[in-house]
Amino acid sequence: MNLPDALDQVAEGFARLQDGLFVHLVSPGLQALGLASYQEDGYLASQWLLVGVLQLLVMLIGFGALERWRPFEVPAVDASARRERGQAVRVDVLYTLIDRLGLQRLLLFFALDPLWNALFGRLAVAGLDGWHLDQWIAPACPGVTNTALAGFVAYLIVLDGFGYLIHRAQHRYAWWWALHAVHHSQRNMTYWSDSRNHLLDSVLVDSLVVLLARVIGIAPSQFVALVALSKLLESLSHANADLPFGRLGERLLVGPRFHRLHHGIGIGHEDARTGRLGGCNFAVLLPVWDFLLGTARHDLRPGPTGIRDQLPEMGGRDYGRGFWGQQVRALRRLTSALGRTAIDRPPDAPLAP
C-alpha cells in the first residue's frame, strides 16, 4: 500500500469516528439543550473533540514513554518535592484538557465568532473575499502535483511564522508578559506544559490566529488539522525528554532541547546583556525563524526552567499554585504592567551564562 492510499484510509476511518461521535453524542446533546440550529457547528465541534482525544492518547502513550526513557530532570525522591511536582503537573493537565477538548474554542465560538462572521460577511459583500493561498499555489508552482498537500504545508509555514511574531511580542511587552508568565512559571516542565496559559492570553492568541486563517482562506476542517498538528508538536517540544535532534534536525523542527532553553531561568526570556525582556528560541515549530532573525541559541545544555524572580535569592515570587490562583495573580500583574514596555533586571541578579 502506498502512502496516499494509507492516508486516505486513515482519513476515512477518522470520518467514520467523527460521524459516530456526532450522531450518538453531539447532535442529541444539542437538541437536548435547544440548540438544534447549531448542527453544522456541532459537527465541526465533534471534529475538535475527536482530534483532542487522539492527541491526548499520543501524549500519554508516546510522549510519556519518552520522558521515562530519557528525562532531562529526574523527579526528586524527597516526598515533599514529589508532592509539589505532582500538584504542578496536575494543574497543567487541567490546562491541557481545557485546551485540547475544545472548551476554549467553545468560548470563542459564542463570544467572538459572530463578530468575525459579521466582519467577513461585510467584506464579502464589498467584494473582498480574502486570499486563498492554496489556490495560488497551482498556477504559481506548475511543477507541484499534490496541490492539497502543498497548500497544507504553505498554510502551516504561514501560521508558524505568525506564531513566532506573536511569541516575540509576548516577551517584548510587559502587559503581555504579565499573562504569558503563567506559561513560563512552571518549574517542572513536561509534555503537559504547552497548554499552561492564562485564559485571556489564549483567547487573544487564538483570536489573532483565527483572524489570519480567515484572511488567507483556510477551510475550517483544514484549520482543525493544522492546529492539531501544531499543538501535538508543541507538546513534544515541552516534554521532559532529552532528545538531541542533531545539528540539522535542530534547524528543521523545534525539539525538547531547543525549546527547553527558551524556558531556562535567566536565558530564555531575558536579554542576558540588559536583563530586560527578550530571550531566545521563540519558534513554535520551525527553528528557521530564530536562525534567520538572530534569536536562536543552542550552545548550552538546558538547565532548570522557570522565571528568575521565583528563586529564593531573587525574592521567591509566587505565580500561583492552583489554576485560579495563577489566573488571578496574572491579572494583578497585568494591571500593574499597563503603561510599561519592559521589566528591568534586579541590579544584583547574575547574568545568564
What is the model's pLDDT at position 337? 86
Instruction: Return the minimum-mean-pLDDT range out of 103-117, 223-237, 304-318.
Output: 103-117
What is the model's pLDDT at position 97? 93
What is the model's pLDDT at position 253? 95
Report residue 297's pLDDT band, with 50, 70 and 90 as the boundaries: confident
What is the model's pLDDT at position 224? 87
Average pLDDT of the segment spanning 113-139: 66
Q: Inform me whether the pLDDT recorded for 282 exceeds 80.
A: yes
pLDDT digits (tens, 9 = 90+) for 193-238: 999 999 999 999 998 998 898 888 888 888 888 999 999 999 999 9
Average pLDDT of the segment spanning 35-54: 84
What is the model's pLDDT at position 340? 61
Q: Inform me whether the pLDDT recorded for 27 exceeds 80.
A: yes
Tell me what percent of the residues of the chain surpass a pLDDT of 70.
Answer: 78
Q: Inform me whether the pLDDT recorded for 285 exceeds 90.
A: yes
What is the model's pLDDT at position 4? 60
Domain boundaries, the chain: 70-337
pLDDT digits (tens, 9 = 90+) for 28-41: 888 888 878 878 77
Greatest mean pLDDT among 6-20, 191-205, 310-324 lies in: 191-205
**HEC sequence for the chain:** CCHHHHHHHHHHHHHHHHHHHHHHHHHHHHHHCCCHHHHHHHHHHHHHHHHHHHHHHHHHHHHHHHHHHCCCCCCCCCHHHHHHHHHHHHHHHHHHHHHHCCHHHHHHHHHCHHHHHHHHHHHHHCCCCCCCHHHHHHHHCCCCCCHHHHHHHHHHHHHHHHHHHHHHHHHHCHHHHHHHHHHHCCCCCCCCHHHCCCHHHHHHHHHHHHHHHHHHCCCHHHHHHHHHHHHHHHHHHCCCCCCCCHHHHHHHCCCHHHHHHHCECCCCCECCCCCCECCCCCCCCCCHHHHHHCCCCCCCCCCCECCHHHCHHHCCCCCCCCHHHHHHHHHHHHHHHCCCCCCCCCCCCCCCC
Report residue 109's pLDDT band, with 50, 70 and 90 as the boundaries: low
Of residues 44 and 253, the one with the higher pLDDT is 253
What is the model's pLDDT at position 114? 67
Report residue 179's pLDDT band, with 50, 70 and 90 as the boundaries: very high
Report residue 157's pLDDT band, with 50, 70 and 90 as the boundaries: very high
